Every structure is written in C-alpha cells, then in structure tokens.
C-alpha cells in the first residue's frame, strides 16, 4: 500500500500465494452486528467511500499558544479511520521493549486484521476503476489501434484477464455487502492482472518520482518555515472585489501559502511528532497492563474508546515520530502535510544515513521550537 500514487499494483496487495489459509475468518460476534463494517457501501451500486482525504479528517489546526497535545488530538483528530492497517514497521523502528509478534497479538487476531485489509484493498481497486472510467473518454488510441476494426488476440487476452479479475472482485464485494452473518468467510482476492487496461492505450500509471538523498535534502530546505510567528486566520481575510488582476491573485496566494498554510503545517508537524511519541509511551503502559492481565481490551478498541482513532492511524504517527524525533528541532520547521512526509519515509531514512553532513544539518536547531508566546504572522 505504501507510497501509492494511483497505481493499482501499489495500492492493492493480492492474496498471499504462500498462505495455507484459503479463507479469512470473520470475528465470532460478526453475525450479531447490524452490518457495521459495510455501511459505507452504496446498496445499489456498491460504490465504496474511498474519498476520505487525510487532511480533511485532520481539519484546520489553528493552534493557540496554550494548546496541549491532548486538546489538539481530541479537537482535530477524532475520526472513523477506514485506512488499511499497515504492517508492523521496519525492525529499526519497532519499539525496543515490544516485539512485532507481541504487538500483533495485542492489536488483535491476525484474521481480523486480514479481513480489514481485504476490505480496504477492494475499496482501492474500486477507486482505481472509477479513476479509469473518468479518463476513458479522453484517452487517445495509438495510430495502429486507431486503424483497427477489432482487438488483436493479445489485446483480447489483456481484456479477458482484467474482466476475470474485476468480476471476481465484484462478486466478493457483493458477498461482503450481504452482511457479516452471510459472509462468515472471505475468499482470498485473486492475483492482480499482470497487464493493465491502460496498457491498451499506451498509457502507464504514473508513480511519484523518488528523490535521491541530495534531492530530498534540498527540497526539504526550501520548505523550512519561520515558526517564531503563528498562522492566524483573521489576518488572511480579503475581498473578492480587490482581486482584479492575475498578478494581485498570485501575490495573495503566495502570501497565504508561505505565511499561513506552510506555517500551520510546520506547527502541526511539531505536534504530530510529539503526539506520536506520547502514543509510544502510552502503548508501553498498555502492553504492561495487558501482559499482567489488568487490561482486557485490544489496543485498537482501547484507542477508539478513549481517543477516537484507529490503531492504523496511531501507528502512522508513532512511526513518523520514531523516525523524525531525533531531528525534531529542525524538522518541526518544515512546512509539509503529514501525509506527504509519511509517503516519503523510506526516502527520509535513506537521506539521514546518506552522509554525516546531511544528518548534522537536520540534527541542529535553526529556530526556537514552537514558543509558548509567539508573534503574529503579520
């Protein structure tokens, strides 16, 4: 799933061919639940709601000087998170006292995790089909195909392969849609088609270009923001009647981006890194209680009940915190959305280990970290 940019092969992980389990068991209490897992499915079209944008879920974060991380989390981060549950993070980022197997056991049964993963994968596939259908009218056939009156044998093979795959996926989603009581076991999704439909049109899915350590280093430097001043919504009001030329519009947009949006994102980054660390500390305490028998809830249930988020989102915050807290004095001045930073985590690891010079740069502090008393951005 990670680092996907519209490519089905990146978003969806097909059934594990090495697995001995043909089916994924639904939880025992599934039959008693009033179809809660599938409420996002449109009963007529089975269209899945996959358009939740990460930043929309966070919402505007106009932090005040006396805002605590807990206030911030309660106010802005409560969400019903349908994201795919990530695998336990790389060995270097795992908690020192909690092994991956222990953490998986604490988070819940593997079968439940696999079920949520399969459902999320079907959502991703469906969204890609919708994206493709929106592009279909504007796709231009190659010169050779433009003169064809029918598909070639090889092209028909591609079509048949995709038709079989998506028909099977649709059947599985329809089966899920009937409700937990009627879908106790979820078959494995079929392997992804080796050749995509877009290949018929000479189109290839575009991936985000991976940056080299040096390129990423220079890119991040351009995103460093003066965080000694705050982003304040009341200073960015304007009248549409004042925007009379493109030059005036560009100037106002640049002002809003560099002095407001990026500054707010840098402030949010600081809170995210701190809050991820707080979640790590909390998980350690939870794990000790779980092992001693004092805690009976699963970690995911505990988070949803007490904080209002899922373990998958918690894990994202914890992973980024472990990666960037050693560089927090400087990285907390980087004005980038959390989702963008999370998508480049592998590149960040490579950058920090690339050279001593780069590591020293990001380890040093160039500005005070978010002060209790800050100046207005204007």
Over residues 244-295, the pLDDT tens digits come to 888 888 887 877 777 777 777 878 888 889 999 999 999 999 999 989 999 8
Which residues on neighbouring strands pair with residue 79, listed in sequence order?
none
- 335 and 219: one domain? yes
In a domain, 272, yes or no: yes
Average the pLDDT over 40-69 and give the result: 37
CA atoms within 13 A on the CB side of 229: 14
- 136 and 168: one domain? yes
- 160 and 13: one domain? yes
Last residue in a domain, options 144, 166, 201: 201
- 345 and 243: one domain? yes
Average the pLDDT over 154-171 and give the result: 88
299-317 confidence digits (pLDDT tens): 989 999 998 988 888 999 9
Highest mean pLDDT out of 15-29, 78-92, 162-176: 162-176
- Our count of domains for the chain comes to 2
1-41 confidence digits (pLDDT tens): 444 444 333 333 344 444 344 444 444 444 444 444 433 34
pLDDT at residue 144 in the model: 55
CA distances from 216 to 221, 276, 342 (A): 9, 23, 14
CA distances from 153 to 158, 165, 202 (A): 9, 18, 17
User: Residue 364, exposed/middle/buried by CB under 10 A (0-12, 13-18, 19+)?
Assistant: exposed
- 255 and 107: one domain? no
- 231 and 360: one domain? yes
Per the prediction, the chain carries an average pLDDT of: 67
Last residue in a domain, options 160, 179, 201: 201
- 333 and 239: one domain? yes
In a domain, 365, yes or no: yes
Q: Which residue has the higher pLDDT, 233 or 322?
A: 322
- 178 and 286: one domain? no
pLDDT at residue 233 in the model: 60
Q: Which domain holds residue 225?
A: 213-376
- 273 and 152: one domain? no
- 332 and 366: one domain? yes
- 20 and 164: one domain? yes
Last residue in a domain, options 155, 172, 201: 201
Backbone angles phi, psi at 321, to 5 degrees: -65, -45
- 222 and 142: one domain? no
In a domain, 2, yes or no: no
In a domain, 1, yes or no: no
In a domain, 340, yes or no: yes
- Using a pLDDT cut of 90, give the percent of the chain over it: 17
In a domain, 206, yes or no: no
Residue 242: is its pLDDT beyond 60?
A: yes
186-229 confidence digits (pLDDT tens): 778 888 888 888 777 765 545 667 899 999 999 999 888 777 76
In a domain, 207, yes or no: no
pLDDT at residue 208 in the model: 67
Q: Which residue has the higher pLDDT, 137 or 209?
A: 209
CA distances from 343 to 176, 201, 260, 329 (A): 30, 29, 23, 21
């Amino acid at each position: 799933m990670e680092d996907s940019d519209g490519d089905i092969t990146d978003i969806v992980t097909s059934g594990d061919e090495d697995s001995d389990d043909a089916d994924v068991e639904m939880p025992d209490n599934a039959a008693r639940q009033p179809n809660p897992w599938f409420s996002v499915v449109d009963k007529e079209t089975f269209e899945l709601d996959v358009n939740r944008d990460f930043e929309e879920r966070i919402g505007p974060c106009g932090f005040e000087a006396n805002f605590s991380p807990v206030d911030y989390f309660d106010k802005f981060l409560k969400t019903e998170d349908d994201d795919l549950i990530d695998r336990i993070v790389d060995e270097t980022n795992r908690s020192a006292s909690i092994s991956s197997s222990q953490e998986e056991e604490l988070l819940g049964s593997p079968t439940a995790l696999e079920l949520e993963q399969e459902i999320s994968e079907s959502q991703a596939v469906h969204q890609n089909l919708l994206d493709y259908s929106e592009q279909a009218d504007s796709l231009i056939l190659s010169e050779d195909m433009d003169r064809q009156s029918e598909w070639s044998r090889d092209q028909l093979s591609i079509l048949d392969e995709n038709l079989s795959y998506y028909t099977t996926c649709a059947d599985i989603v329809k089966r899920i849609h009937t409700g937990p009581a009627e879908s106790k076991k979820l078959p494995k999704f079929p392997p992804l088609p080796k050749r995509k439909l877009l290949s018929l049109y000479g189109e290839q899915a575009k991936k985000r270009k991976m940056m080299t350590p040096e390129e990423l280093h220079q890119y991040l430097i351009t995103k460093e923001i003066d965080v000694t001043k705050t982003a304040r919504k009341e200073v960015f009001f304007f009248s549409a009647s004042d925007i009379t030329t493109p030059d005036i519009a560009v100037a106002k947009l640049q002002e809003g981006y560099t002095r407001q949006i990026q500054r707010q994102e840098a402030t949010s980054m600081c809170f995210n890194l701190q809050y991820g660390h707080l979640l790590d500390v909390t998980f350690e305490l939870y794990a000790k209680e779980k092992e001693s028998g004092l805690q009976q809830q699963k970690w995911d249930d505990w988070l949803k009940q007490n904080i209002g988020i899922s373990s998958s989102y918690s894990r994202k915050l914890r992973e980024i915190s472990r990666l960037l807290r050693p560089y927090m004095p400087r990285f907390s001045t980087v004005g980038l959305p959390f989702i963008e930073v999370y998508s480049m985590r592998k590149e960040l690891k490579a950058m920090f280990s690339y050279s001593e010079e780069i590591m020293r740069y990001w380890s040093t502090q160039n500005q005070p970290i978010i002060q209790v008393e800050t100046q207005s951005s204007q």
